[in-house]
Amino acid sequence: MMSKYAIRDAAEEAFALLGKSERLSSAEWSGVLSLGAVAGELFAEKARSVSALHFGNGVYVRALIEISSFCRNGCRYCGLRSGNRLAVRYRLSKEEILACCERAALSGFNTFVLQGGEDPLQGNEWLADVVSEIKRRYPEKAVTLSVGERSADGYAMLRSAGADRYLLRHETANEEHYGFLHPKSMSARNRRQSLFILKELGYQVGAGMMIGSPGQTVAHLVEDLMLLDELQPQMIGIGPFIPAAGTPFAGETPGSVETTLLLLSLLRLRFPKSLIPATTALATLAGNGTECGILAGANVVMPNFTLPGVRGKYTIYDNKKCNGSESAEELALLESKLNKIGYKIDYGRGDYMKN
C-alpha cells in the first residue's frame, strides 16, 4: 500500500505527464488510470486549479433543445433505439424549435444545442433551413448540433448554414466493443472518420464516451483516451452508462459515478482549454452530480429548453433528469448551487479559445 507521500509524488509525476505536448502511450494512460484509484481527489484538486486558470469561476450554460426522439438506429444501450416499443416518439417542428430558441435568448443564453436521434424526417436540408433561420434571427449566438452521423456533404451543408459546433460522441474507440454496443450498420471506423471530417470543415468538435457501458474494460478506456489525444477535440462529453427500459441492456448495472469524476479530472488536465460539461447522466445518477462534475473539472452545464409537453419523452435512459430548468426559478437554483461551491453562471458563448 502506497503512503500518502508516495501517492502525492506519483500524482505530481502524472500531472507532468498529462501536461506534455506529445501524445501519451497506452502504457502511460494505463499508469495514470491505475493511480487514479488512490489519488482521485488529488487529480480533482489539480483539475479545479487548471480550470480556474483558463475559465475563472464561471460555468458556461448552453440551452439544450431535444428536437426529436425518432431514430433510425438500433443502438443497444439507447432508449430511443428504433426497435424500442416503450419509447414515446415526438419531433419538433421548425416553428417549435424557434420558439425554444426565443425563450432561451430571452433568458440570456448565447448557445443553442439542437440534439436528437437520427430522424429520417429531419434530414440535412430541413435541418440546414432551421439552422439558417436561427442564425438569421440570432447572428451573434452559437448553434451546436448533436444529431448523429451524417454524410460528409451533410456536415458541409449544415456548416454552411451556420452551425458552429458539432457533438458526436464516439462512445467507444475499440472496434469490437463498438460492434457489441451498436447494430451492424454502424462502425467505429465511420464514427472516427466523421469526427475528423467535422474538424476539417471548421466545426468546434465534441467527442466522448460512456463510462461503464456493458463490456467496457480499462483497456477500452485507454483506447478512448488515445483517440481523444489524436483528435484534440474542442469539447469532450462523458457520462456514466445508465440502462434504458426496452433495450437489450435494460438489466445492466449503471456506470460508476466515481470513475466518471476521475475521468473528468484527467480530461481537464490533459485538455485544459476544452469545454467539458457536467452531463445530465451524472446528475441523474447522483443528486449532486452537477456540482461534483464541476468540482472534478467540468465547466459547462446544459439547462433543458425543450418544450415542457415533450421533455419527458426524450428517454435515452431511465429516470433521466428533465426538470423545467429554463424557468427563472430553476436558473436561480442553479446559480445558488454553483455559488455554494465557489462558482457562478457564465452566459457567454463559451467558444473554444486555442490561445
Task: Using pLDDT thresholds of 50, 70 and 90, give the confidence band for residue 203.
Answer: very high
The predicted pLDDT at position 313 comes to 84
Mean pLDDT, range 179-193, rounded to an integer: 97
Residue 102 lies in a domain: yes
Residue 150 lies in a domain: yes
The predicted pLDDT at position 285 comes to 93
Q: Is the pLDDT of residue 327 over 70?
A: no
Residue 352 lies in a domain: no
Task: Using pLDDT thresholds of 50, 70 and 90, give the confidence band for residue 37.
Answer: confident
Phi-psi region of 16 (alpha: psi -120 to 50; beta: other; left: phi over 0): alpha
Proportion of the chain above pLDDT 90, given as a percent: 89
Residue 354 lies in a domain: no
Mean pLDDT, range 107-122, rounded to an integer: 97
Q: Is the pLDDT of residue 312 over 90?
A: no
The predicted pLDDT at position 143 comes to 98
The count of structural domains within the chain is 1
Q: Is the pLDDT of residue 341 over 90?
A: yes
In terms of residue numbers, what domain contains 325?
A: 4-346
* 319 or 209, higher pLDDT: 209
Task: Using pLDDT thresholds of 50, 70 and 90, give the confidence band for residue 330.
Answer: confident
Bridge-partner residues for 115, per DSSP?
66, 146
Residue 355 lies in a domain: no
String of b and e for 18-37 (b: at least 16 CB within 10 Å)? beeeeebeeebbbbbbebbe
Q: What is the DSSP pairing of strand 204-207 with strand 210-211?
A: unpaired
Q: Convert the pLDDT of each residue in 275-304 to its tens digit.
A: 999 999 999 999 899 999 999 999 999 999
CATH number, domain with residue 154: 3.20.20.70
Residue 351 lies in a domain: no
Residue 334 lies in a domain: yes
The predicted pLDDT at position 134 comes to 98
Mean pLDDT, range 144-157, rounded to an integer: 98
Q: Is the pLDDT of residue 326 over 70?
A: no
Task: Using pLDDT thresholds of 50, 70 and 90, give the confidence band for residue 171.
Answer: very high
Mean pLDDT (the chain) is 95
The predicted pLDDT at position 57 comes to 97
Residue 94 lies in a domain: yes
Mean pLDDT, range 343-347, rounded to an integer: 97
The predicted pLDDT at position 320 comes to 75
Q: Convert the pLDDT of each residue in 227-263 to its tens digit.
A: 999 999 999 999 999 999 999 999 999 999 999 999 9
